Amino acid sequence: PDAIVVRAAGKLFVAGEYAVVSPGQPSVLIAVDRYLTVSLTAGVDAGSIHSPEYSRMPVRWTRGVDGLTLDREHHPYDYVIAAIEAAEQLRASRGLAPRFFDLRIDSGLDDPSGRKFGLGSSAAVTVATIAAIDAFYGLRLTLRERYELAMLATIVVAPNASGGDVAASTYGGWIGYRSPDRDLLRRARAESGVAGVLGSPAWGDAEIVRLEPPSGLDLLVGWTGHPASTERLVSGVSRGTNATSTDQTAFLAASRACVDDLWRALSRDQDAASADLALASLRRNRRLLQELGARSGVTIETDRLRILCDAAEDIGAAAKPSGAGGGDCGIVLAPAGADLAGMLRAWETNDIRHLTIGVHPPEGEH
């Protein structure tokens, strides 16, 4: 039989980082036209996960047992394994017999030389693995169910992840996102299994809304050349901030107000004022993240991100670090007529690479 080949898009955060880790706080993301591919072929008497980047690793599971028995020592495949476990639990709940399969993972999200751009390969591999298993067993999951399954898998590996990257990779296009309460989800999964959590009230304030691209603004992405560890940055910020302090409450309120403006600016009925609202919102969000960094003692906006963003603001554009900061990419929204060539020259002088990345279009519901 032929291989099932699915690809999942990478992502970039546009706004709302760090705040979005708190359930219900709004953020904005885009899916990008760089992809990770998972190819699934039916296995005979074993399953496996394989990627050119890592060594081959055998995956075993026991027929008749709830879920899989897997070798947990191979860190690179944690997200894949968590995705298989979640999908297999759902498969079992539908009364379908387990089957063996081989997974091959090819990431086109990073630099050909292997350096990470920070485009969300963990989310993409989780989303693609779920989609491949969905097709293999004929589960016919909706986009929302794929997101929920991939989110449940993600928080096994990264307990505090907001899942914005999972949502963007699943839905495509520009999205607005609010995260669920992950503790609640873990408890619900423990109590009622994966099938019982899908579509349940445990998702609380989680929300994914489709937004429109900003009309009259160009989106540009700069890469600092320095890979950053989201996990390290997020735990550093959470250690460095007191969750119940007035500063943190003020940060969440300001981020919410600022991202709410961006949601409005990216709505279906954009008008002449929308582009300015989007630019102002992005600039404000940059300042909020600078303050958060200063307050928590974590360098979110590194020197290179500062240069990248300043060069954009110098030409009348708006810019900020995308995602956790500490390196990786910066994102720019530039009004028509801005001196993009001037900005790109400044980037080049400072060794900041312009990534020619576009938005992956919204996925159709099926």
Q: Contact positions toward ligand MEV, by CB under 6 A? A: 13, 17-18, 20-21, 161-162, 164, 230, 234, 323-324
CA dist 187 to 32, 79, 170, 182, 337, Å? 33, 20, 24, 9, 52
Give the phi and the psi of residue 14 in degrees, each rounded to 5. -105, -40
Output the six-digit token pair for 126.
């989780």
Closer CB to ligand MEV, 13 or 174, in the complex: 13
Kindly state the smallest distance separating residue 317's Cβ from ligand MEV, in Å. 22
The owner of tokens 């630099």 is: 111
333 in Cβ contact with 317 (< 8 Å): yes
Distance of CA 308 to the CA centre of its chain: 22
Query: To 10 degrees, what angle do helices 246-265 and 274-296 make?
Result: 160
Closer CB to ligand MEV, 259 or 266, in the complex: 259
Kindly state the smallest distance separating residue 273's Cβ from ligand MEV, in Å. 28
Kindly state the smallest distance separating residue 21's Cβ from ligand MEV, in Å. 5
179 in Cβ contact with 25 (< 8 Å): yes
Kindly state the smallest distance separating residue 352's Cβ from ligand MEV, in Å. 19
Q: Cα 277–120–176 angle (5° rounding)?
A: 30
**245 dihedral zone (left: phi>0; alpha: psi -120 to 50; beta):** beta
Whole-number Å distance between alpha carbons of 222 and 312: 10
Closer CB to ligand MEV, 13 or 147, in the complex: 13
What's 76's DSSP letter?
G
Which residues lie across from 335 on neighbouring strands? 217
Closer CB to ligand MEV, 87 or 161, in the complex: 161
Kindly state the smallest distance separating residue 59's Cβ from ligand MEV, in Å. 27
Kindly state the smallest distance separating residue 282's Cβ from ligand MEV, in Å. 15
Closer CB to ligand MEV, 89 or 230, in the complex: 230
Kindly state the smallest distance separating residue 121's Cβ from ligand MEV, in Å. 12
| CA-based end-to-end distance of the chain | 24
The owner of tokens 């928590």 is: 296
Closer CB to ligand MEV, 18 or 147, in the complex: 18
Residues in the chain: 366
What's 77's DSSP letter?
G
Tally the C-alpha atoms within 13 A of residue 56's C-alpha that lie toward its C-beta.
5
Kindly state the smallest distance separating residue 233's Cβ from ligand MEV, in Å. 7
Closer CB to ligand MEV, 41 or 229, in the complex: 229
Closer CB to ligand MEV, 39 or 162, in the complex: 162
